[in-house]
Amino acid sequence: MHDPRTAYHSGEFPGQRQDSPGSHEAMNPVPDSGAETYVGHGRLAGRRTLITGADSGIGRAVAIAFAREGSALALNYLPEESDDTAQTVHLIGSAGPPVVQLPADLRDESANTEVVAQSLDALGGLDVLVLNAGYQHDISDITALETSEIRRVVETNFMAPLITIRAAAEHLGPGSCIIITTSIQACDPSPGLVDYAMTKAAQAALVKALAQSLGERGIRVNAVAPGPIWTPLIPSTGWSEDHVASFGQDTPLGRAGQPAELAGAYVYLASDEASYTSGCILAVTGGKSL
């Protein structure tokens, strides 16, 4: 049994910043993706999963856990993230089910449909969609919010998951599921993340609506809502080094979370153990309330 206050890195972080999309390997400390600790039990044996934003952070932790649980994987990421993706693939290893890499910028509508088509082709079908790619940027003031930034947030967090689901829906059969990475920002928005928080709230509504329409076909739809998690998104949001240093210290558990602490939630939602769970927003927030 571990004390959750000290089970992973606790206390502040060294101040740091990166350009978006940020590198997992360049962070100090390097986020814990569970590569050293996650033990699989075949709970996703035979599944075929597409994960977006799979190179780093939460997506990397989910990729490692799903591979160890027996799922074949299609990994999507931005073309400039090939180094982080190579490390993810290395950590997964070659002993398990197939892993295919599908670099593409999902702000492009046709890229979403192509990633679905390539996943179907490479894996022979799709059973799980983990729609996890996301973008956020700090806004000092609403008057400083640039239209190009609004577009990037909306196209990445709002349009891309919707278009990917639309392309994949006809190929999903009974027992398959969709998992979206929303955020605590959906319910408890920060003023500096106004456009991002809007898209995360929209994702929560999407999950609740889709759970109703796809339930009739035996397809479950859920979301994970992370609190403050130590990933490349954080030093590349545009916050000051001091802000990054104190990231996550205000949670009831007194620290930021690590990607490894999210993987079990996704495995649960994708597995048969969650056969009666749909339309759920699962909070992994260090005790912060949704």
Number of H-type helices and E-type strands within the chain: 8, 7
Residue 192 interacts with which of Mg ion, ligand NAD, none, CB < 5 to 8 Å by class: none
Q: Give, in order, the Cα–Cα distances in Å from 199 to each of 10, 57, 111.
A: 30, 20, 20
192 touches ligand NAD by CB under 6 A: no
SS3 258: coil
SS3 221: strand
Q: Write down the least CB distance from residue 87 to ligand NAD, Å.
A: 12
Among positions 33, 49, 52, 56, the unique one binding Mg ion when judged by CB under 5 A: 56
Helices (H), 220-259: 241-245
55 touches Mg ion by CB under 5 A: yes
Q: Residue 267: which region, alpha, beta or left (left: phi > 0; alpha: psi -120 to 50)?
A: alpha
- The C-alpha angle with vertex 154 and arms to 216 and 236, in degrees rounded to 5, equals 120
Among positions 8, 34, 59, 72, the unique one binding ligand NAD when judged by CB under 6 A: 59
278 touches Mg ion by CB under 5 A: no
261 touches Mg ion by CB under 5 A: no
88 touches Mg ion by CB under 5 A: no
Asked if 144 and 245 count as a contact pair (C-beta separation under 8 A), the reply is no
Q: Give, in order, the Cα–Cα distances in Å from 113 to each of 17, 61, 78, 117, 172.
A: 33, 25, 15, 6, 14
- Nearer residue to Mg ion within complex by CB, 25 or 241: 25
Q: Write down the least CB distance from residue 288 to ligand NAD, Å.
A: 11
Asked if 59 and 91 count as a contact pair (C-beta separation under 8 A), the reply is no
- Omega before residue 21 within 30° of 0, cis: yes
Q: What does the DSSP 8-state code read for residue 30?
A: P
Q: In the range 64-103, which residues lie near ligand NAD by CB under 6 A?
A: 77-78, 81
Instruction: Show the tokens assigned to 11.
Output: 């206390």
Q: Write down the least CB distance from residue 229 to Mg ion, Å.
A: 13
Asked if 267 and 39 count as a contact pair (C-beta separation under 8 A), the reply is no
Q: Side chain identity at 124, as an amino acid letter?
A: G
Instruction: Show the tokens assigned to 110.
Output: 């046709």
Q: Which stretch binds ligand NAD (CB under 6 A): 116-124, 205-213, 231-239, 268-276?
A: 231-239
283 touches ligand NAD by CB under 6 A: no
Q: In the range 22-41, which residues lie near ligand NAD by CB under 6 A?
A: 22
155 touches Mg ion by CB under 5 A: no
Instruction: Show the tokens assigned to 121.
Output: 């082709």
Q: Which residue in 8, 135, 196, 266 is the catalytic one?
A: 196
Residue 44 interacts with which of Mg ion, ligand NAD, none, CB < 5 to 8 Å by class: none
Query: Is 196 a known active-site residue?
Result: yes
Q: Write down the least CB distance from residue 1 to ligand NAD, Å.
A: 26
- Nearer residue to ligand NAD within complex by CB, 122 or 218: 122
Q: Which residues bind Mg ion (CB under 5 A)?
A: 21, 55-56, 81
| Catalytic residue ranges | 196
Residues lying near ligand NAD in the complex (CB under 6 A) are found at 21-22, 52-53, 55-59, 77-78, 81, 105-107, 132-135, 156, 181, 183, 226, 228-229, 231-234
